[in-house]
Amino acid sequence: MDYNALLSNLKNYLDYLQLVEGDRLFINNDHIKQEFNLLNVSNTNNNISKYNNEIANVKELFHISINEENDLDWKTAKTLQEIYSKIKDCQKCPFGKSRTHFVFGEGNPSAEVMIIGEAPGADEDKIGKPFVGKAGQLLTKIIESINFKRDEVYIANIVKCHPPNNKTPVEDEWKECLPYLIKQIELIKPKIMLLLGAVPFKALLGSFHQITKERGQIFYYNGIPTIPTFHPAYLLRNPAAKKDVWVDVQLLRKIFDEQKNIQ
Ligand code: URA
């Protein structure tokens, strides 16, 4: 993409954004840090749809956001540590008020394997790290059963704060948190992902999915092979399902090894 050409066209592109009077537009990148309060906006252009792709490109390239002042900084973060320091005091959902720790995630920042759970439990809330309780100990065994070390993968959750009474988070509760995980995935760039249970499966791949029917299949999240399987907490209640997870993680290992051989 020709950055200079885009820069010179930025003003034109801004004319095509569908803004209304009173909107606030924030541009925050290495070149421009500016806020615009929009007054007297009249968007009479009839060709907006024609420009949608260009607008999406320019928005991403220039880090343009509309009415999202507080999100500016973490969205442009370049490291996991930087995102963490910018989001750790988040209070966007009700779980923020009652949490002890914001459980960001843990592991190798350049991990090739990313494992995504639902939300921190009480143990994780106390300690501030994902999967440290009984389900976490089982997860460690699962990871080691396919010859990975726990500290070479990256483990995170859809929701970063402990839901009181271990409530399963519903969409309204995870939708504010999901962009944080998406940014973590963008920075880590895993080669393969394992989703633990229905919540990450639905949140990342679509709410119509059903873990019981579709576990153990290969899906693609932004081109990354992604395998949903049962959550280790479910295995603690239903040990008979361990054999299914065994099959699913063997598949993960196989795809991972195949990718390595192709490279
Ligand atoms: N269950 C999860 O989904 N995540 C954790 O971190 C712990 C338990």
Q: Could you read off the pLDDT of 33-54 as tens digits, one per residue?
A: 666 665 544 444 433 344 455 5
- pLDDT value at residue 50: 41
Average pLDDT over residues 190-202: 98
Tell how far the Cα of 115 is from the centroid of ligand 1, in angstroms: 11
pTM: 0.77
The residue count of the chain comes to 263
pLDDT at 82 > cutoff 60: yes
Kindly indicate the confidence band of residue 190, based on its pLDDT and cuts at 50, 70 and 90: very high
Cβ(125) – ligand 1 distance below 6 Å: no
Cβ(232) – ligand 1 distance below 6 Å: no
Separation between Cα atoms, residue 228 and residue 224, nearest integer Å: 13
- pLDDT value at residue 73: 75
Beta strands 106-107 and 154-157, pairing class: antiparallel
Separation between Cα atoms, residue 109 and residue 151, nearest integer Å: 10
Q: State the DSSP code for 24.
A: E
Tell how far the Cα of 240 is from the centroid of ligand 1, in angstroms: 20
Cβ(130) – ligand 1 distance below 6 Å: yes
Measure CA 185 to chain center. Answer: 6
Q: What is the pLDDT of residues 101-144, one digit of tens each?
A: 999 999 999 999 999 999 999 999 999 999 999 999 999 999 99
Tell how far the Cα of 181 is from the centroid of ligand 1, in angstroms: 14
Tell how far the Cα of 174 is from the centroid of ligand 1, in angstroms: 14
Tell how far the Cα of 52 is from the centroid of ligand 1, in angstroms: 39
Which among 101, 131, 165 is the best mutation to test ligand 1's pocket, defined by most ligand atoms within 8 Å of the CB? 131
Average pLDDT over residues 52-63: 59
Average pLDDT over residues 235-248: 98
Q: Which of 164, 135, 163 is nearest to 237 (CA)?
A: 135
